[in-house]
Structure 1
């Protein structure tokens, strides 16, 4: 399937099976990281990591502390679409990585980013 990204009025189509999202928390200035799976029915969060806790960034009770942060497996259902937004309070937006290539998206405050799965990214 194709991961579709609409950011800054531009659409991008990526034929990938997985991707990661990472960003810096606006208050704690620590990194949050998630790995997502692209399926025919939508997007599934499969793994997450936060480097430290605080200011609404608490890891769930079953998270495991490793040298690079708290690791856990999100208990969220399959998502038909995901919306991201930048607060403007951080130094950057979101970093989306897939198949060895990373791109920064969502650097403009208040400009939402839409992620979804579709054969031709029309929708």
Structure 2
């Protein structure tokens, strides 16, 4: 089963059984929610859409963005991302991972799968991978 793997330095910490997910977080300074939609492929992650509620430090709205439902929506044009490295610290808060669970999209803190952010493991990597349930 193809899904989302979470870990660090090639070590698998958790597996999320989904082929699409949204990665969401709160900007640490502006306190504005940012969301990115990904599709998981065997070669990596494809960023398909993104949304941001407003602008701020390091949060420029792309020229092709459209304002709708309280957010700026746009489609990034990036190559496939083999592995995405995310910084996590207690001060910054956590990421949410949102995906379809039995026909309903649910968002849960990344801490559910890999523990709360701490200074000893201030990063996590996410990538698409095959997982065979036991």
Does residue 29 of structure 2 align to residue 20 of structure 1? Answer: no
- State the match for 2:125 in structure 1: 114
Give ranges in structure 1 of 5+ residues lacking alignment: none
Aligned pair partner of 1:46 in 40, 45, 48: 48
**Native 8 Å contact 2:4 2:128 kept in 1:** yes
Give ranges in structure 2 of 5+ residues lacking alignment: none
Distance 1:103 1:34 in 2: 15
Deviations 1:44-97 (A, max 9, x none): 00000000011111111111111321100011110000011124443x200001
**Which segment drifts farther, 13-22 or 46-55?**
13-22
Q: CA deviation at 1:14?
A: 2.1
SS in 2 for 1:4: strand
Report the RMSD for the aligned CA atoms in angstroms.
2.1
SS in 1 for 2:61: coil
**Native 8 Å contact 2:5 2:12 kept in 1:** no
TM-score by length of 1: 0.85
SS in 2 for 1:2: strand
Map 1:1-123 to 2 at 5 A.
1-6=2-7, 11-90=13-92, 92-99=93-100, 100-105=105-110, 107-110=116-119, 111-120=122-131
* Segments ≥4 residues shifted beyond 6 Å: none
